[in-house]
Structure 1
Amino acid sequence: MPHILLLEDEPAIADTLLYALRSDGFEVTHVRLAREALAAFAQQPPDLAILDVGVPDGNGFDVCRAIRKSSELPIIFLTARNEEIDRVLGLELGADDYVSKPFSPREVCARVRAILRRSAGRPAATANDHHSPLLQLDEAAQRIRCSGQWLALTRYEYRLLATLLKRPQRIFSRAELMDLVWADAPDTADRTVDAHVKLLRAKLREAGASAELIQTHRNMGYSLQLVA
């Protein structure tokens, strides 16, 4: 039975989500404060966390930052705010999804199931573990090495590949990649993502990658599949 950590301080919303998640077969630990969420995470790491952005003693972003120091736990942000800057910040912190209130409890359950399916085959990793036998990320120098060879990447090619490499096997939609990679170029068309993926694939092959590392998921987006 998958274990969900729910951080939500509004009783009506918490009760609705608890009923929906438990009816859907999930075990749920509910807390109302940020410090309680971190304590619950330390005591019994869940399979996924749903974090309300605004709670009395802090916010879900701070909880996410603390968790990301040691874990790639799947995280969904739950908030009454729907501003672009909040979505961008949540994604930059490594959130897997972002749900704005009001919402459908069934939709939240469906998103939880989808994220758990995607993360089931993802190897456990720490927030600083961004290496594989094929790819190594040097964030300080903003460069990436493939099969021992430093890739000649443009700024946006580096950002795109680094984003995928930090969360291997996670499927990023075009919209998410636009928010994360082209946040400083809001007028860029979403087809730019496809063009940069094509360029990256060519550079990875040229550097010696024997398999197609960047995978296309029809009507969903792109992921990085690390293979030996």
Structure 2
Amino acid sequence: MEDEVRAQRLLRLNLEPLGYRVITANRAALVMESVEQYMPDLVVLDVRLPDGNGFEVCQELRSISDVPVIFLSAHGQAAERIRGLELGADDYINKPYDPLELAARIEAVLRRSQGRAPALARIFRCGPLYIDMEQRLVLLDGVEIHLSRTEYRLLEYLALNAGRTLVADALLAKVWGPEYVGDYASLHLYISRLRRKLHEDAHQPRLILTKPGIGYMMPSDPR
């Protein structure tokens, strides 16, 4: 408990001078109560909690809110990171972490969660795919597809650049932020998630194409 209190105090000391209001909760149940009461702009969630684990909290949280979530973990195992992202987390940081890095990650997640599509392109159609960028609505064969905030931003950026091959680092910089350049594992994971939700054949995708050694592209007129 002492370590948890110290960690929470450190978060306050590093984030409040940057203008953030920090609300802490050291139990899984209190996290949900705090989210419902304060409606925060972002949640920093530890994987290990005294009365449960952060994965269960994130899953419950996603049933009521799309608030951005950043996981903290002392283990740093790839399987844990993938699980957190699959549950809808927006980022994952290993402990011990540099407070300046955490602040930068928070700012990056908030930037992309608050971003909007350029005013010129409102409607995009690509075969069975329909995107209304004003309403943030995605339809596949007329059926709505529910995407996380990051999944939507990735799909939107591909759509805005349909017909152009986007290098992996450009996608990471635009969708996640320049500090994420080189994090190809996260990009590959999100591309795979998007393809599954769009019912793509993993071996012969039609909507999100892989350009080996370069990046990805969405065709403007898929065959």
Q: Name the TM-score, length of structure 2 as normaliser.
A: 0.62
Alignment partner, residue 114 of structure 2: 120
CA distance, structure 1, for counterparts of residue 125 and residue 149 of structure 2: 8
Alignment partner, residue 77 of structure 1: 71
1:177 aligns with 2:187: yes
Cα shift at 1:133? 6.1
Alignment partner, residue 221 of structure 2: 206
Question: 1:114/1:134 Cα in 2 relative to 1: closer, same or farther (>3 Å)?
Answer: same
1:100 aligns with 2:94: yes
Cα shift at 1:181? 5.2
Contact 1:9 1:32 in 2 (8 A): no
- Which structure 2 residues correspond to residues 23-172 of structure 1 after superposition, within 5 A? 23-121=17-115, 134=124, 145-147=128-130, 150=141, 167-169=151-153, 171=175
Cα shift at 1:177? 2.8
CA distance, structure 2, for counterparts of residue 120 and residue 59 of structure 1: 28
Identity of aligned residues (%): 34
Moved over 6 A (4+): 161-166
Instruction: Give the structure, 1 or 2, with the largest relative contact order (CA under 8 Å, sep 6 or more).
Output: 1
Residue 11 of structure 2: SS of its match in structure 1?
Answer: helix
Contact 2:66 2:148 in 1 (8 A): no
12, 16, 22: which one aligns with 1:18: 12
Residue 93 of structure 2: SS of its match in structure 1?
Answer: strand
Cα shift at 1:94? 1.3
RMSD (Å), alpha carbons:
3.6
Q: Aligned residue pairs: how many?
A: 166
Cα shift at 1:79? 1.1
Question: Which of the pair is proportionally richer in helix?
Answer: 2
Cα shift at 1:166? 7.0
Gap runs ≥5 in structure 1: 1-7, 124-131, 137-143, 151-160, 209-228
Contact 2:41 2:67 in 1 (8 A): yes
Cα shift at 1:163? 6.7
Aligned AA for 1:29?
I
Question: 1:80/1:178 Cα in 2 relative to 1: closer, same or farther (>3 Å)?
Answer: same
Measured against aligned partners, the alpha-carbon deviations of 1:81-134 in whole angstroms (never above 9, x if no partner) come to 1101000001111111111111111111111111111111259xxxxxxxx965
